Structure 1
Amino acid sequence: VDNYEELPTDYRIEAIPTLLFFSQGEEVYRVSGVVDQSVLSNQLKELLEQVSTSNSVS
């Protein structure tokens, strides 16, 4: 953030920590503040399943 002062404004970061996840250049998930490890792990597993399903070729 010190080297890229515009990023918090560009990405609407209002809390630390803030985790942003992108798929194909689009934000697909955001979590702000402290989150329990098990909650974050479960949410990320669901996110990865959604992203891999939406990116699969049929």
Structure 2
Amino acid sequence: MSNFSELIKGDKPVLVDFYATWCGPCQLMHPILDDVKKEVGENASILKIDVDKNQELAAKYQVRGVPTLMIFKDGEQLFRQSGVLQKKELVKLLEENA
């Protein structure tokens, strides 16, 4: 994913979900991320990265477990956590980093 660095350079926060299709907890994140996007609208972006299809990128960011969620703004990583997070937590994090 060669344009990843361009996508995370913006002045809006970008929530990145590193996931795998075979991962149960990752499947739980899909509807949560859809709800987060509805709530934050254009104030933030959500980017989903399949670690099996983007192994170099996952290695670069040392993703060891999925799902791993990160928030970037202006190219800088502001947040990182592995595991399922609830909508309320994610919306709060995105608003704090807007």
- Taking structure 1 as the reference length, the TM-score comes to 0.60
User: What corresponds to 1:37 in structure 2?
Assistant: 87
Q: What letter corresponds to residue 85 of structure 2 in structure 1?
A: V
Partner of 1:24: 74
Aligned-residue Cα RMSD (Å) equals 1.6
By how many angstroms is 1:22 displaced? Answer: 1.7
* Alignment partner of 1:46 is 2:89: no
Mark the structure with the bigger radius of gyration.
1
1:23 and 1:43 mapped to 2: Cα distance? 12
Please state whether the residue corresponding to 1:30 is helix, strand or coil. Answer: strand
Structure 2 runs not aligned, ≥5 long:
1-50
State the aligned residue count.
48
Structure 1, unmatched stretches of 5+, are: 49-58
Percent sequence identity over matched residues? 38
